Amino acid sequence: MGFAYKYCNDHGLDILTSLHLKITPPNQFNDPFEFTPYVVCSNPAGRIKRFFKDKTNLRELYIAKKNAGFTGNFREFRKQLRPEMSRIIDSLAPDVPKVSLETQLGSLDYISKTYGVLCMSRRRDSLLMWGHYCDCYRGLVIGFDDQHETFRGGDGLHPVKYVRQRVLFDSAWKQGSVEERNFENQIVFSKNEEWSYEEEVRQLFLLRRLNQKQLDGGKIGYFLPIQAAAIISVTVGPRCSEKLYTAVQTALRAPHFRHVEFNRAELDETEFKLSFIQQASSRR
């Protein structure tokens, strides 16, 4: 059994009481470089030719041509197009870098319409994450069994690879090619090396398959139902309020949480580190 930890503010209590995990579209991440590749086109002519070979694209162009007054059928349209291809390629090629930049700038929002990500960590003792994600040590960290069936859907949880360069996407790659498949994996599981302290693991989800509810402010939240058996530990922070401590304690009294270890993080007296003190079962 492996461990995956979710750093939370006081909303972590909702995970225990509602048994669900929030899945976040990438455009809501705090790192704007996520899911934004560096887009190039190494073969503009080939890319343009491939565009015109796509029947869907051709149909759209044909309809536009018909609306502009063309009276021939689709076959006649294609026949008329062939001798013009060289001229069309020469005229469109200078615009390819602009299109690549537009693709790069729009990729984050485009991906976020379809996919969401569950982000967790291999560690529960990161001082930075306790500060950033746990409301300055006031929140809690929930530990999960990463082998539980909850995380077996799709490709499951995978470690993030920390890199120096942005992931490259070449629009000249053929659809379904090895290069494109490698890119799809890299864009999900790559992050700038400055984030390496997080030791992140993540899993990709289709948003349409998740439960949805409206959040404060009108945004739609996406949630993955989980089983209590997936949770193996709960650790409250050293600045956790008595109110939150009691609420977590009460939630963990439920029979389905009998197996869960309850801890409190405390500041070490001599070093920059946390100690984890198991709470007596009688207090639960």
Position 70 scores a pLDDT of 87
Q: How far apart are CA 67 and CA 2, in angstroms?
A: 60
Joined together, the tokens standing for residue 193 give 């090396």
pLDDT < 70 positions in the chain: 1, 280-284
Question: What's residue 53's pLDDT?
Answer: 84
pTM of the predicted structure, to 2 decimals: 0.88
- Residue 120 is encoded by which pair of tokens? 């967790």
Quick one: pLDDT at residue 283?
43
The whole-number pLDDT of residue 5 equals 98
DSSP 142: E
Backbone dihedral angles phi then psi of residue 115, each to the nearest 5 degrees? -120, 150
Which tens digit of pLDDT belongs to each residue from 236-266? 999 999 999 999 999 999 999 999 999 999 9
In the block, tokens 């930049």 appear at 101
Quote the pLDDT of residue 1: 64
**112-146, pLDDT tens digit by residue?**
999 999 999 999 999 999 999 999 999 999 999 99
Which residues neighbour 207 within 8 Å (Cβ) at sequence distance 6 or greater?
Answer: 23, 25, 113, 114, 115, 116, 222
> What stretches of the chain show up as alpha helix (H) in DSSP?
12-18, 44-53, 55-67, 74-81, 85-92, 96-112, 127-133, 178-189, 242-251
Locate the domains of the chain by residue range. 3-25+114-163+190-283, 42-97
Give the alpha-carbon dihedral of 12, 16, 18, 20, to 10 degrees.
70
Please state, in angstroms and rounded to a whole number, the distance separating the CA atoms of residues 20 and 220: 15
- Report the DSSP beta bridge partners of residue 278: 263
Burial (CB count <10 Å: 0-12, 13-18, 19+), residue 41: buried
- Is residue 23 within 8 A of residue 118, CB to CB? The reply is yes
| pLDDT of res. 284 | 41
